[in-house]
Amino acid sequence: MPRSPLMEPAFGFMNAQIVHVAAELGVADAFTDDRPRSSAELAEATGTHAPSLYRLLRGLAGLGVVEQKEPDLFALTAEGRRLRADAPDSIRSLIRLFCGPDVWRTWGGMAETVRTGEYAWERMTGRTPFEFFASDAEMSETFNRAMAEHTRDVAPAVVGAHDFGRYGTVADLGGGDGTLLAAILRAHPGLHGVLFDLPAGLADASGPLADVADRAEIVPGDFFEAVPKGADAYVLKSVIHDWPDEKAAAILRNCRAAMGPDARVLLLEQVMPEIVAPESAGIVRNDLNMLVATGGRERTEAEFRELLEGAGLTVVSQTGPLSETAYHVIEAGIAH
C-alpha cells in the first residue's frame, strides 16, 4: 500500500518542535565563530543534557539546520544561522512565537473552536492574545520581535509596489517597532511618518527608526478609540486580518474619521482566493490561525471591498500579490 500524502502534515508537529526547541534553547547561537561543535560543547553553552542534545542535533541534521560532520561533530548550515538571535535575517522569534506553548495549545483547541465558533486563545487563557502579550514582558518582547522579523522580510516588496513618495505624511497604524515605516521613510527622504501602536507594541521603536528619527513621530494609542489626524496615508499591515468584521470595521471607521478628503487607507494584507487549491495552503493556514488565535480571518477581495464600503471607504486600486510574498496593497479613499 502506498504511503499516504497525509502522513507528512499529520506528523509535521514533530519537525516544528525540533526547530522550536533549537530556537528556544539558543542552539544556533552556541555555534560561535561558525566553528563545528560537539554535543558536549553545545550542551555546556546552552545548559542542556549532552546526550539528549546530541539526539536533537541529529534531528536538526535531518532538517538541514545543522550538518553532521562526524559522529559527534556538528556545523551550522546557512539556514540554521537564521535561528541565531543576531542574524540579520533571523526567524528565531517567529519560531519561538508560533511553535511556542501558547500558540501550540491554541491550535490544540481547534476542534472546540470549529464546534462552537469561539476562538481558542481567549477560551483557554481568559484574555485576548493582545491582552495576554501585554501582561507578560518576555512574551511581549518575543511577539514584537517576531512581527518585526516578518515585516523585515516583506518590507522591500511593499516599498517597491506602491508610490509612497506622493504623500507628505504616512501613519503606520499598529506598526510595532517601526520596521516597515523606517523602510518607507528611507526610500523617500522627503516623507514624514507617524508610528502608532499600543505602548507595549512601541517598546522597541527607537532602534529601527534611529536613522530616520528626525522624520518620525512615535504616538501611543488605541486604534479602536481614535487614530492620529492629518496623515495623507494610513498604513495597516496585517492588522485587519486580526479581527472579526465588526472590530475590523471599527478600526476602518476611525481611519475614515481622521482622514482628509484626499487621504488614503493602505491595507497590506493577504487576499484569500475564491476557490482554494493546494498552492493556497499558506493563506489557508493563516486563516485557521486567525480562527483559533484571534477570532479574525483572511478575506477575499470581495469581502475586503464590502468591509471598506461599510466604513465609508471605497477601493481605488489593488496591487499584488507582491514579489516573493502573498501580500496585496489595497488602496482605499473616502467614498463620495
328 is catalytic: no
> CB neighbours (10 Å) of residue 307?
18
Q: Give the E-state strand segments of the chain in sequence order.
A: 66-70, 73-76, 169-173, 192-197, 216-220, 233-237, 264-270, 313-319, 327-334
* Residues with Cβ within 8 Å of residue 312, at least 6 apart in sequence: 253, 256, 334, 335
SS3 270: strand
Query: ω before 321 within 30° of 0 (cis)?
Result: yes
The span from the CA of 98 to the CA of 327, in Å, is 20
Write out the three cell numbers for 9.
Answer: 502534515
End-to-end CA separation in angstroms for the chain: 63
Amino acid at 291: L
Question: Choosing from 150, 162, 188, 241, which is the catalytic residue?
Answer: 241
* Residues with Cβ within 8 Å of residue 332, at least 6 apart in sequence: 264, 265, 266, 267, 308, 313, 314, 315, 316
Question: Cα-flanking dihedrals φ and ψ of residue 327, to 5°?
Answer: -85, 150
Contact status, residue 196 vs residue 223, Cβ threshold 8 Å: yes
By the 10 Å C-beta count (0-12 exposed, 13-18 middle, 19+ buried), 125 is classed as middle
So which residues are the catalytic ones?
A: 241
